[in-house]
Amino acid sequence: GKGYVLNGSKTYITNGFLSDVVVVVAKTSPEKGAHGLSLFLVETGTQGFDKGTRLKKMGLKAQDTSELFFEDCYVPAEALLGEENKGFYYLMNELPQERLQIAAECQARAEAAFEEARRWTNERIAFGKPLFDK
């Protein structure tokens, strides 16, 4: 039956090493640019799909990050997520929500860091005096 052959690699994929299924964005109509992208579900163990080693990073060490490799990786038509060439639209539909979530998390982390710095400066004694005089 009709299927697709995926070739290429992806780097810095969150949860890529431990995943059982990955969503892959691939060009199905390269001449259409962004309008020729499709989404595919690819299961671990699919021939031609390999995972690289876990990448070392500075933060979020409990969350694995890895490379993914696709070499003549055949996926059946049923692996297409949504409609062919609509992948860009699906991704852009979710992107604003993801950015808002990330912004809220960053704001919360900044506030926590500021409060920790304030607590520390109020408690710290240097040269016999409080570092920050209330």
Give ∠ CA 3-5-8 in degrees, rounded to 5.
150
**Separation of alpha carbons 102 and 117, rounded Å:** 22
Active site residues: 98
Helix (H) or strand (E) holding 79, with range, is none
In this structure, are residues 85 and 32 in contact, taking their beta carbons and an 8 Å threshold? yes
Nearest Cα residue to 38 out of 90, 2, 98, 97:
90
Alpha carbons 3 and 41: distance in angstroms, whole number? 12
24 Rama sector, left if φ>0, alpha if ψ -120 to 50, beta otherwise:
beta
The DSSP 8-state label assigned to residue 49 in this structure reads: E
